[in-house]
Structure 1
Amino acid sequence: MSEKYVWYACYGSNILKERFMHYIKGGKCRFNDAYYNGCKDKSDPLDERPFTIPHKLYFGMSSRKWEDGGVAFLDPEKDDSIMTLGKIYKITCDQFKDIQKQEGDSWYDKILCLGEVDGIPVKTFTHSYVVDERKPFDKYINVIMLGLKETYPEMPNEEIEQYIKRHIMP
């Protein structure tokens, strides 16, 4: 079973399930009006859970899908003193590969192995080195904030806002 499935750890806009499902099912996203092809296998994730990632979150590049603002990346170097709030989705290995391609496998060219949950590997992707930081577009940040509220419902709004502010370049 562990060879067929992977826990995909996400930390940007995919933390919001509605947004993430465009990578699985395809279709037009209401948050950025972008169209996504979806995965070949359009099966829903088998499970999802909150998950903290021991890598620094930052925003970089210039995404046309998000009005040329920066998008979320992780510093590829592990840092146990910094925890990025994320979510894991249990999906097939083929879905993971399809999602990486849709995200842009030249931008997200490094797969990080983050351990195991229930005997199944936890993986995510980021850029192979830290790129120049770029402020994200407000709509992108709002999607992440909705995803944090969905994933961490006990977290007060003020704490979510402070978390976001700490990761956006001054």
Structure 2
Amino acid sequence: MPASEIWYVSYGSNMSRRRLGCYIEGGRPPGSAVTYGGARDATMPVADLPVTLPGSLYFAGESTTWGGGVAFYDHDAPSGTPARAYRITVGQFVDLANQEMHRIPDPDDPLEEVLLAGLPDARHRAGPGHYETLIEVGRHEDLPMLTFTAPHGLDAVPHTRPEPAYLAMLAEGLREAHGWDEAQVSDYFASVVGHEDLRVGTPV
């Protein structure tokens, strides 16, 4: 029987539990220009775990939420990307994805039926948007582990520098999920952004 729950894997700002909470319970994360309405089911995840994805993080475009570059994941690029997996319902995942695309959660979203039936392939393109390409990155406790990213890879677009407030949310998630210290966080950001002088911002 298809599962009604999945593991949502975040490699970006949603690694921070309080940032994820703005998509689930509603609210405005520190440094953001957007207030979110939350998911139809406002129950926070019952479990989470640190994971490392077999691909690369990169920043491109410009975020309407934070300004500066947006975090994307290239599953096919060599490297390793620290991430955090949350056990949530399929409906919550769909509502989260809609809010990432600046849409209101829709109870009739066809993506929910697709996920409840199980992805036919390891990848599914729900639309042309930045976060509408779904990738199954593994399984845990017999549930699929899913993330979303852009349809393009890291070599297909110019890279852009993320804003400090956005990096601060990523840093918070890395500390929470992986127990990293400030030096580890700064070294990681320098490697993926390409700026040796990069410093981690502090949430307000």
Shared fold by TM > 0.5?
yes
Structure index of larger Rg: 2
- For structure 2, the residue ranges without an aligned partner over 5 or more in a row are 102-126, 196-204
> Secondary structure at the residue paired with 2:160?
coil
Q: Which of structures 1 and 2 has the larger relative contact order (alpha carbons within 8 angstroms, sep 6+)?
A: 1
| Matched residues, number | 166
Moved segments of 4+, more than 6 Å: none
Deviations 1:3-40 (A, max 9, x none): 10000000111001011110101122233142011111
Check the 8 A contact 1:23/1:99 in 2, yes or no: yes
Q: How far apart, CA to CA, are the structure 2 residues paired with 1:132 and 1:5?
A: 35
**2:142 counterpart letter in structure 1:** G
SS at match of 2:82: strand
1:143 to 166, 169, 184: 169
How far the C-alpha of 1:112 sits from its partner, in A, is: 0.5
Q: Work out whether residues 30 and 165 of structure 2, in 8 Å CA contact, stay in contact via their aligned partners in 1.
A: no
Distance in 1, matches of 2:25 and 2:69, equals 25
Distance in structure 2 (CA, Å) of the matches to 1:64 and 1:99: 16
Counterpart among 88, 93, 112 of residue 135 in structure 2: 112
Higher strand share: 1
Determine helix, strand or coil for the equivalent of 1:32: coil
Q: Residues 11-160 of structure 1 correspond to what in structure 2 (within 5 A)?
A: 11-67=11-67, 69-77=68-76, 79=77, 81-104=78-101, 106-130=129-153, 131-153=157-179, 155-160=180-185
Contact 1:31 1:143 in 2 (8 A): no
Does the aligned pair in 2 maintain the 1:76–1:128 contact within 8 Å?
no
Output the TM-score relative to the length of structure 1. Answer: 0.91
Alignment partners' CA distance in 1, 2:181 and 2:40: 38
Q: Shift of residue 152 of structure 1?
A: 1.4
- Provide TM-score, normalisation by structure 2: 0.77
Deviation at 1:2, TM superposition (A): 5.7
Q: Distance in 1 between matches of 2:2 and 2:187?
A: 37
Shift of 1:164: 1.0
TM superposition shift of 1:113: 0.3
Deviation at 1:142, TM superposition (A): 1.4
- Between the aligned partners of 1:142 and 1:2, the Cα distance in structure 2 is 37
Deviation at 1:132, TM superposition (A): 2.4
CA contact (8 A) 2:21 2:27 kept: no
